[in-house]
Structures are given as C-alpha cells and as structure tokens.
Structure 1
Amino acid sequence: MHAELRDLGVHCARKRVVRLMQALGLRVCLQPHHIHTTQRQPGAQVAQNLLNREFGASDPNCKWVVDITSIWTAEGWLYLAVVLDLCSRMIVGWSMASTYDETLVEAALRMALARRTPQKNLLHHSDQGSEYTSQAYLGLLEQLGIQVSMSRVANCYDNAAMESFFSTLKKECVYRIHLQSRQQARQVIFEYIEGYYNRVRRHSTLGYLSPWEFEHRLI
C-alpha cells in the first residue's frame, strides 16, 4: 500500500499508512501455509536438485520453475499448470484442463517457449510428479537442450517460489469467488495472471515492482 501511494505521488510515512489502515479496519491478508507432497512413481527417472533453493536469477529465461495445482469448481476440479521465471516472477506459461497428465504440463511449457527466448542451458525445476518424469516430457526437455532439476520427495520448500505463487493466486483470486463452472474458473484465472499478476501486482522481492515493470527496466 505504501509503495502504491508513493508511485501515485502521495508522500507519507509507512507508519502513517499503517495507522490509517488500522483506523479504517483494513488489514493485510495473511498468506496461508500449505504443504504439498509428491509421491514419486516407481521406476521414475529423476534428476538432481540443481536449483538447490537458489530462487533468484540475474536475467530472464535462465531459470524456470513449474508445478500443477487444483482449483475446485461446482463442476469439479480444474487443474492449472504454470511456468514461472525466477528472475522477474513472471508467469511465462500456463495451461488448464479438467484432467492432469504430461499433456497439461507440456502445453504450459510450449506456451512459455512460444512467448520467450530461453537462454542456453535453461534450468527447468519441477517436483518428481509423474507428469514431469514421464518419458515424453523428459524427452522434450532433452530435445530442447534444457537442464532438468527436481525437488526432493515430500519437500515443498525445494520449489518455494511456485508454492508462494499458488498460495497468492488462491488467496487473492480463487478463494474470493464461488466458481460455478470450469469455464468461469478459466476466465477468472486468465484475467488474474495476464491482467493483474504479471502486469500490476507488486512483489517485495522485486523492490515492489510488477514482473512486467521489472523486466522492462532490465531492457
């Protein structure tokens, strides 16, 4: 809130913003704590954790983290696969479907590849879920010359940046609406990611800039 007022030309101390918010009954929404675990499929081909919880990057398109989350609607589950750039926290690829498999995660990856120009030896970090350890998906990464990194089993902190995004998405968007259908969920999530999260939402890790503004200043 203080950063937003500052950019609007309103000069005031951070403590005054806190006092005014308290007087108006406004408060920050606390981010819920979720721990998700992934069971590795027997015989799955897994990779070392090359990312090693280093969630920063000096340039775009050199470190991408990926994952899947589920969104409940009155029609049933909708699954969202996401590709996030660790330099700017930009969501560079995403895909949604009523079922989840390697097709879902491949669609998100192909969107990211179509929109960006990955650097040589791009690092791709995921969990050890069956979608990301399938022969088809790993074969695609190998074909593209992409380095593969994977979290350890049952350790959500190895992919904390993605867990943080999913928590933010649900807190700021999904949990505020009673989603009647998968189509409604698709529209709401699309508008949140492309219209708000990437272009408007401020990130403390980016000096309170949006991902779009942060990348624009790197050019």
Structure 2
Amino acid sequence: MTALVDEPPRRGVEHVLPELHIASSTYYRWRRAEKEPCERRRRDIERSERIKESHSESGGNYGLPRVHAVLKREGVHVGRKRVERLMCEAYIAGVSPRRKGFTCRDPKASLAPDLVIRDFTAPAPKRLWVTDLTMISTGEGPLWLSAIRDAISCRVVAWETSARADADLVLTTLEYALAPREDEPGKLIHADHGCQYTSP
C-alpha cells in the first residue's frame, strides 16, 4: 500500500484508495498507527524482543511451552496464544526432540527364524540383503525412506519413499529389488522383525 502511494511514480491517495475500495479514514488511521502504535502493539514489540532473547539464550532450542514458562517465571503476564502469535510473526520455532523407535515389533506377529544369527557378512553378492526404514524430516512433514543394501558390497539394491511407514512401502521396495533379478529360490536371505516386515 505504501509503495503505491509513496514510492515513484507517486499516484496519490485520492487515486489509489477508490481503486482498492478503501476508505480514506481507514488509510489515515493505519498510517497514524504506524507512527504512534497503540499500547497493545507497544507491549507486543517489547514481549517479542524478550521472546527473541529467551530463544537465543537457549541456543535456539526453546519452543512455545518453554518460552512461555520463562516469561511467566519473570512475572510477565501474557497468554500462551499471544506468545505463539508473536513467535510466528518473528519466525521463531523450537527444536523438537528426535523421536525414537519409529518402528516396533508386532507382539502378535509370527517372526521368521534368524537365519543370519546377527552375522551380516556374506560369501557372495545376492546372498544377504539388509534393509530398514528411515524418517527424513521435511517442511511438509515426515518422509519415509525404505532401502535395501547388499551386505557384501553395501550397494543399494533398491529404495522407495512414502509419506507412510507401512508394509506397502516395504513390499514395493522389495519388488523393485527383485524385478531385474532371477535368483534361485532359497539363496537370498531377507528378514526383519519390525511390524512392517512381519505383517501378513
């Protein structure tokens, strides 16, 4: 708005406002608020500065709950929603602790026997594959990567990604790995005890 009115080529308020369907009183009230912020806005500016300091003092780790707790300890009476809004406006976010145990063993599943006996060395290629799921954090949420490697060469045989860590992801990866091969039955060992690998 200010660019349209103040910056070259200056079009003037009387030409711009009617085109935008904005009353002149609204425009001048907004301009006055920029120069003389109200009491609430002044408090927001002060609290925003303290929030930035608190976040910085924590090494960039503190999120909404801890920043709000710090302000409360210091006697600053401010609602949690207001702190959340101020943090969003300042693009401040805490570091979430890394979750552990994304995949778990299904207690009801019948497990395949451990033919490897925890020995992950292989006598030749295409005799032992190792596989697992890994979560990759992205701006749009978690992305799951399923990969299969040949134990002797550590070469990735196949991989696939999905927004869900389910049996379909694991099976698709295995299908991609098996598609170009013609191995004799029983020569390739592939086993895992995670629920995605033991589902029927």
TM-score (norm 2): 0.46
TM-score (norm 1): 0.42
Structure with larger Rg = 2
